Every structure is written in structure tokens, then in C-alpha cells.
């Protein structure tokens, strides 16, 4: 460190010149306060004036998603707002599912996966979308051919959120996959495959929620309310699934400002 710069820095302790023995070795642990202070001075002098962080450019490929909306969910269309009793029952059912999952997690984690189940790495966004939704939904193919209907090809229809699969996912992976699917849902339609995985991932989220997970589930509830409001056919099964997700986010995870008003 240059003497001029050192003089501009405030001294927290009045440290004078250290009288040290000629055989002082700064590489060994200090034996006296003077040796410790001298060692700190030497290490500080060796620090570079400018430090450049090494950034992995692969992590910058994905544009960050910023959601600054502070509004609540859009109200349900007339006649489709769930009753308070229905919402309370869904919360009770969901709580029981979570308790069962936590109780038997170690058992299901120890079960062998089928040879065709290859779980993607946590950071593989496209891999997880294909794994959960299947090639048919991912590639937006409307229907399977007759030959494909002869048997289940999970690569095409997506792997269901089996307990043996979700029990192997740590919280970081659960949050990542939830983010991938919510991002997908932000631009695509709601499908049964998506609904099953969203429910399973919510069941795997640990409370209290991390800030990232908190933001994600609020974004999910808002998106469900948008799709529900724009749904023209008012499909009963679809509306019920959207109501369920909004209910769990708002009432189980305590985001009450997003809750549907009882009909």
C-alpha cells in the first residue's frame, strides 16, 4: 500500500512501530499482539488495488425476470368463485399430503427409479420442462398419433410427479423447477401435466418460505387468476384447478391478499 493512501485511511487503534525480533517470520502464527498487527499490515500491503471477479458467462444467458406488480389476484368470473368451505377443505387435504410426504420421504427416496427415468440437473431448465410436461406439450403437439396411443411414452407425455422422484429433490431444485414451470406458464396455456407438477412442487416447499419462493408462488397465483379471467369456455375442470392453486398459495402459504372472496 502506498504511504499516501495509508494516511487517508482512519486508524481504529493507535498502533505504533512494532519492535520485532530479527528472526520474525510472518508465515507462522503470531505469538504477541505486535506480531499479529505486523502480520495484518503485511497482508494488507499485499492486497491488489483492483480485484476483477470471474463471472461465468453461461449464467448470464438467461434474462432475469422482474415482476414489480403489487396488485392482488383478479376476481373469479361470476359463478366460479369458490366457497370458503371448499377452500378450507382443500387446505386441509393439502396439509395432509405434505405431512405424509415428509413422513415417508426417506422411504420413497430409497426406492429405485425405473431405468427410463433420468432426472435432469437442477440448472437444466429445458430438460426439466421436457421432463415434467413431455415432448407433446413442450413442442405444442395437439394430439398423439394412433400408434403412440398403444402405450405410455413418458418422454412424450411427461413424467408424473411420483413420490420416488420428488422425494429426491432438495429445496434448491424444487424452487428452480417451480421457477421454470411458472416461467413456462407465463406464456403458455394451463395443462393437466403442468397442474400436477405445480401441486407436487408446492407440497414440497418448506415453510417458512425463502424470499425467492415467496415471490414465485405469488407470481403463480396472479397468473392463475389472469388465465381464469380470460377463459372463455369456462371449463369446469380447468377453473377448479386454477381455483385450487390460488387457494393454496393464499390460504395455506398465508398470502391472504391474494385469496378469493368466498361466494
C-alpha cell at 201: 412442487
Burial class (CB in 10 A: 0-12, 13-18, 19+), 210: middle
Total count of residues recorded for the chain: 263
Does residue 258 contact residue 222 with C-beta atoms inside 8 Å? Answer: yes
**Cell numbers 395455506: residue:** 252
**Cell numbers 517470520: residue:** 25
For residue 70, pLDDT over 80 is answered with: no
- Residue range 195-205: mean pLDDT, rounded: 97
Sequence-separated (6 or more) residues with CB below 8 Å from residue 257 = 72, 250
Rg of the chain over all Cα atoms, to the nearest angstrom: 28
Tens-place pLDDT, residues 89-136: 999 999 999 999 999 999 998 888 888 899 999 999 999 999 999 988
Give me the torsion for CA of 47, 51, 54, 59, rounded to 10°: 130
Residue 128 pLDDT = 96
Cα separation, 31 vs 115, in Å, equals 61
Does residue 247 contact residue 76 with C-beta atoms inside 8 Å? Answer: no
C-alpha cell at 218: 405469488
With bands split at pLDDT 50, 70 and 90, how would you rate the model's confidence at 150? very low
Residue 33 pLDDT = 73
C-alpha cell at 45: 500491503
C-alpha cell at 91: 387446505
C-alpha cell at 67: 415482476
Residue 66 pLDDT = 47
Residue 190 pLDDT = 94
Domains in the chain (CATH in brackets) are 84-112+119-140+155-258 (1.20.58.1070)
Cα separation, 254 vs 229, in Å, equals 23
Give me the torsion for CA of 23, 26, 32, 33, rounded to 10°: 130
For the entire predicted model, the pTM comes to 0.70
Amino acid at each position: 500500500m502506498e504511504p499516501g493512501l495509508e494516511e487517508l485511511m482512519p486508524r481504529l487503534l493507535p498502533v505504533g512501530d512494532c519492535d520485532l525480533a530479527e528472526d520474525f517470520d510472518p508465515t507462522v502464527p503470531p505469538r504477541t499482539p505486535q506480531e499479529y498487527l505486523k502480520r495484518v499490515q503485511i497482508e494488507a500491503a499485499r492486497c491488489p488495488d483492483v480485484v476483477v471477479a470471474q463471472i461465468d458467462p453461461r449464467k448470464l444467458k438467461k434474462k432475469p425476470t422482474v415482476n414489480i406488480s403489487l396488485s392482488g389476484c383478479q376476481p373469479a368470473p361470476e359463478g366460479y368463485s369458490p366457497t370458503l368451505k371448499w377452500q378450507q377443505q382443500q387446505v386441509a387435504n393439502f396439509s395432509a399430503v405434505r405431512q405424509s410426504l415428509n413422513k415417508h420421504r426417506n422411504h420413497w427416496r430409497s426406492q429405485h427409479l425405473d431405468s427410463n427415468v433420468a432426472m435432469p440437473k437442477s440448472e437444466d431448465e429445458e430438460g426439466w420442462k421436457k421432463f415434467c410436461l413431455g415432448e407433446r406439450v413442450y413442442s405444442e403437439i395437439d394430439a398423439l398419433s394412433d400408434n403412440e396411443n398403444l402405450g405410455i411414452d413418458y418422454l412424450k407425455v411427461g413424467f408424473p410427479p411420483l413420490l420416488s422422484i420428488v422425494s429426491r429433490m432438495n429445496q434448491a431444485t424444487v424452487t428452480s423447477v417451480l421457477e421454470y414451470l411458472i416461467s413456462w406458464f407465463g406464456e403458455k396455456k394451463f395443462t393437466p401435466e403442468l397442474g400436477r407438477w405445480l401441486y407436487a412442487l408446492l407440497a414440497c416447499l418448506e415453510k417458512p418460505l425463502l424470499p425467492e419462493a415467496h415471490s414465485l408462488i405469488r407470481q403463480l397465483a396472479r397468473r392463475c387468476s389472469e388465465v381464469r379471467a380470460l377463459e372463455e369456455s369456462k371449463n369446469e375442470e380447468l377453473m377448479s384447478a386454477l381455483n385450487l392453486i390460488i387457494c393454496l398459495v393464499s390460504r395455506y402459504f398465508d398470502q391472504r391478499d391474494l385469496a378469493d372472496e368466498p361466494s
